[in-house]
Amino acid sequence: MLMKRWLAAHDWLDNEDFLFPSLTRPGERLTTERISNIVKEVAVFSGLQGRFSSHSLRIGGATAAVMAGMTLAEVFAIGGWMSKSLEHYLRAIGSAKSGASKKMGL
């Protein structure tokens, strides 16, 4: 649903090579560094404390994918993981399923 809204709002994407292009450098992709900065800015704006980066999005996306029923093999493929480190990050699934974030008021 959100992706459809993004695409509808950005009809200029038809001529772009990247789904999330740089808004300041036409024809270039949004860099990992810029994504990390955006994540940090949103965390600060939201009053969250801790260490956040674009890596936080990868871990969260992988967790959401597994919780939605995707297999580890599928998540490895779409996330481009080359090592078993993903399994280490998925330890958060137990907390997510138990509603830990909701219990903490997040």
What number of CA atoms fall less than 13 Å from residue 49's CA on the CB side?
0
Give the model's pLDDT for residue 13. Answer: 55
Q: What is the pLDDT of residues 10-51, one digit of tens each?
A: 665 556 566 777 777 767 777 888 888 888 898 899 998 888
Is-contact 75 84, C-beta < 8 A? no
Q: Is the pLDDT of residue 70 over 70?
A: yes
Domain boundaries, the chain: 51-99
pTM: 0.54
Q: Round to whole Å and give the CA distance between 69 and 57.
A: 18
Give the model's pLDDT for residue 104. Answer: 65
Q: Round to whole Å and give the CA distance between 34 and 36.
A: 5
- % residues pLDDT > 70 (the chain): 75
- Average pLDDT value over all residues in the chain: 77
